[in-house]
Amino acid sequence: MSELDKDIARILGVYESAVFKKDVEALMRLYDPEVRVFDAWGVWSYEGAEAWQRTVEGWFTSLGTERVKVSFADVQAFTGKDMASVSAIVTYAGVSAEGQPLRAMQNRISWVLRTTGHVPRIVHEHTSAPIGFEDSKAILVRDKA
pLDDT in tens, 2-28: 888 899 999 999 999 999 999 999 999
Report residue 56's pLDDT band, with 50, 70 and 90 as the boundaries.
Answer: very high
Q: Please give the pLDDT value at position 4.
A: 83
Region 18-39 average pLDDT: 98
Torsion angle (degrees, nearest 10) of CA 134, 43, 68, 115: 110
Q: Is the Cβ–Cβ distance between 27 and 70 less than 8 Å?
A: no
Q: Please give the pLDDT value at position 45.
A: 97
Region 65-78 average pLDDT: 98
Region 57-82 average pLDDT: 97
- CB under 8 Å to 140, separation ≥6 — which residues? 105, 106, 107, 129
Q: Is the Cβ–Cβ distance between 13 and 26 less than 8 Å?
A: no
Q: Please give the pLDDT value at position 3.
A: 87
Neighbours of 17 (CB within 10 A): 13
Give the span between the Cα atoms of 145 and 133, in whole angstroms: 17
Q: Please give the pLDDT value at position 145.
A: 57
Query: pLDDT tens digit string along 72-130?
Result: 999 999 999 899 999 999 999 999 999 999 999 999 999 999 999 999 999 999 999 99
CATH match for 3-128 among 3.10.450.50, 3.40.190.10, 3.30.390.50, 1.25.40.10: 3.10.450.50
Q: What is the DSSP string of 107-126?
A: EEEEEEEEEETTEEEEEEEE
